[in-house]
Amino acid sequence: MAAAVREFLDAEGVQQMPWPASSPDMKPIEHAWDALGRVIKEGDNIP
């Protein structure tokens, strides 16, 4: 986050959460790949 934005948010009293920019939680496709991988590992083949 840019320093100017951080200063503005601090001045306005906005609380910030640390969140990595490349977090898998922010990429829904990662959840889909994880679910698909579990199905394949379990041997549940969907025709």
pLDDT at 2: 87
Question: Is 1 inside a domain boundary?
Answer: no
Tens digits of pLDDT across the chain (47 residues): 689 998 999 999 999 888 777 766 677 888 889 988 988 888 866 65
Give me the phi and psi of 44, to 5 degrees please. Answer: -80, 95
Question: Is 29 within the bounds of a domain?
Answer: yes
Q: Which domain holds residue 23?
A: 19-47
User: pTM, whole model, 2 decimals?
Assistant: 0.40
What local confidence, expressed as pLDDT, does residue 30 receive?
A: 83
In whole angstroms, what is the distance from residue 25 CA to residue 30 CA? 8
* Alpha-carbon distances of 25 from 17, 29, 39, 40, 43, rounded to whole Å: 14, 9, 20, 22, 26
In a domain, 13, yes or no: no
Total count of domains within the chain: 1
What's the pLDDT at 9?
93
